[in-house]
Homo-oligomer: A and B are copies of this chain.
Amino acid sequence: MSTAEETSGGEVQPWGEVTPDAARRLLVAAVEAFAERGYHATTTRDIAGRAGMSPAALYIHYKTKEELLHRISRIGHEKALDVLRTAAESEGGPAERLAEAVRSFVRWHAGQHTVARVVQYELDALGPEARAEIVALRRQNDAAVRGIIEDGVAAGDFDVPDVRGTTIAVLSLCIDVARWFNVNGPRTPDEVGALYADLVLRMVGAKSRPRP
């Protein structure tokens, strides 16, 4: 089984590592149900039905609906962190690394917009422990981007009066792609990524900036 799986909407799903197959089918069904109707309007019976399983079969894999949301949110955030860290640790100067972080983070949010919406908009539905774990992952996302911006400022390549605020803005710009991105729209995820990489290099006042 490959680590990515295409749904009918053409989105590449990050659930390859979830085993067994029934547990993965239930996660995919939960993402679809939460995205369509919201977390609170979805029952474990709905999720089991979408996955072609009985509610009893669901409980073998997940004790509660919240456990499903927690699992989706953790995997989503870990994948996003992986994308950002790979860019942050890549070769090249701060401008190249920041551009690559933005390109790949945008691609992720455009390509996985259904997962990303659930992960971003249903955070309040998690209990305190699960939420604390996800908030810690989000802090690591912030730190990965902030680190590149700090490197750029230290090297004299960027001009950023407010590093923390600019970091929030850069991540926010990329995350909101999940809200507005339309697979039938005029731009591909790669095209949005290229445009956004250029806009972000402008935001940090990068001294050298390739033409988009």
A137 is an interface residue with CB less than 8 A from chain B: no
With both beta carbons as reference points, the residue of chain B lying nearest to A185 in the complex is identified as: B168
Q: Which residue of B is nearest A37, CB measured?
A: B40
C-alpha spacing A120/B179, complex, angstroms: 8
Closest Cβ–Cβ distance, residue A195 to chain B (whole Å): 5
Check if A196 sits within 8 Å of B176, measured CB to CB: no
Interface secondary structure of A, over-half rule: helix
A112 within 8 A of B: no
A15 sits at the interface (CB 8 A): no
Total identical chains: 2
Q: Closest CB of chain B to A79's CB: distance in Å?
A: 19
Using CB atoms, name the residue of chain B closest to A191: B165
Q: Which one of B37, B38, B162, B175 lies within 8 Å of A176 (CB-CB)?
A: B175
Interface residues of A in 135-165 (CB under 8 A from B): 161-162, 165
17 cross-chain CB contacts under 8 A: A37-B38, A37-B41, A38-B40, A40-B41, A120-B179, A121-B121, A121-B179, A161-B211, A161-B212, A162-B212, A166-B199, A169-B199, A172-B173, A172-B176, A176-B179, A199-B203, A202-B202
Please list the 4 inter-chain residue pairs (A to B) with the smallest Cβ-Cβ separation, ordered nearest first: A38-B38, A40-B41, A41-B41, A176-B176
